[in-house]
Structure 1
């Protein structure tokens, strides 16, 4: 069953609704996040989707794709670019300047201070990389510290083990399984729910930032300490 908060009924006398995401750049060390622009990003993202290291299985759990033509891919990106919920960002590699992935905020509920990270598609070279973790960090930091949200959600198909493992790695707390939550691509979807709260963010931020330090990586870009190892040391 979903976990219940131990603070149910706690007054929030100073509560103000959170802000909506705006079309601003989020700057990181190895990447920057830009609001999705189909004209700017389609060609590079399509090439990344069809590169030798591409992972077509990612589309198994995404609402669209895979795409067999750049025209269809570009049309999908155009619908994403004009959407306000989900609100999509393109991941731009800091060194090459190329688009290497997309992700979004969604389920944006400013009046309750709740927002979700999802619709994640990362190129093969970005998966399980420093850049992938930094993208999640940038969205989490922006949601809590700039937009003023108090709850950050992560939801995924219960069959998507990689997404569930990623949620745990990033410091989200599992809240349970919503059975028969969606009909997805003609099949039943049970949805696993995870969350991170604003009160938990300071520790999770410290963990992310310790992991992202340059001295945590060797010359080949491999991590020296995992997020979980850093979490154990700081918790």
Structure 2
């Protein structure tokens, strides 16, 4: 990883504006112009890209320590003229006041498992028998996990395609008509009410009455 890449990642992680970045440099007694900063923040393949020197990288990290933890009594630390991944890692640890458990949790956010013994080797002084060089992969994953933690973003690798589907509840499905018993279907459809037949007029003699004709009783006409 280049110093420029690390500077860009830190700026994005803490959502620092150009003015804020310049202020962090100033906390370590280094005046930086906006033009210089813009050149350092350019992508590596940009024609206006300018490499960030080790001295300026160390100065920025010293300023970040002051920004996050306040100014300490005594003389300000002298920035290193040569920085390594181990130095950068250690300065970030100090600036954020991280414990070993904190760092392991941040690494886990980037899906990287590191043992506590392995982690402690990165913070040993160079030349110590247990010193271990911090590779780009370690520092890159730490910065990625730190970004997830500070910006409250979820790692892409941890997202499941079913996560969104689980949020949306499926609508309740009604039972198909084909599964209903025949008796239920018949009950659902009520037969229309039948009309009662109209009452037929009747007479006491059981014979049909006609106008102009007198009823006959016992076979004889009566008037």
> Could you tell me the TM-score, scaled by structure 2's length?
0.30
Greater CA radius of gyration, 1 or 2?
2
> Could you tell me the TM-score, scaled by structure 1's length?
0.29
Question: Greater strand share, 1 or 2?
Answer: 1
Instruction: Name which structure has the greater RCO, CA cutoff 8 Å, separation 6+.
Output: 1
Question: Greater helix share, 1 or 2?
Answer: 2
